[in-house]
Structure 1
């Protein structure tokens, strides 16, 4: 009889492992992304949440975001390193910026993520910016 080992989901980032960030929903985002648990990840967004990936149009709504991640993010691992709160609006929305690296199957690249959260700690928007030179990106195409 074969026993299948089950491992608990990684919760490294949700436990506060991003320097300067104490926002559990941001940690949960990275944990779900790295676990390829895109259904859990999109539940962190508000109903009309937006994901702005590099080089693509914005994805609006949980269903569109989940579809995109299931097609484009398999095998990707995010390594956020440090971040900061950039702004708090009068309405209570907060904007955070996090910097780190993303490991893709063929290469890794420095990345900046910008998260906008509402007062209920739902993700309103995530913008992902690659921090690579044009020469570096061209090299990856070869």
Structure 2
């Protein structure tokens, strides 16, 4: 039997993963209850496009930490729903720029109160100091992971 010196459940990774899964489940459930045809992942893409319209598909994949294949699938679904439109770059036809349409902006504005309330309820009873410190900690862990990834990439 392999002995692991650290109990994985006592590390940050499974807790962050569980939070993400639960938040995804709850936000998707809230959208369905309101008869809103949108997923949390699609909401995030709309949020970024609302902030900076015309991002490339690759930029969106990078920003949202998705692989190119799953981003293509997500963009295809959002385009079918009429939330976004895709424009091929004239200088480089391999590049797609993604633009939010009025229907996408409308559904984003309709869902912001739902997401805001869900986040408020999720953080209920947790002080802003603790939230701020937790975010700082998670950012530091993310930096550590990026450094490990870069070192691993160099060594292989």
TM-score by length of 1: 0.27
Q: Highest Rg: 1 or 2?
A: 2
Structure 1 or 2: larger strand share?
1
Structure 1 or 2: larger helix share?
2
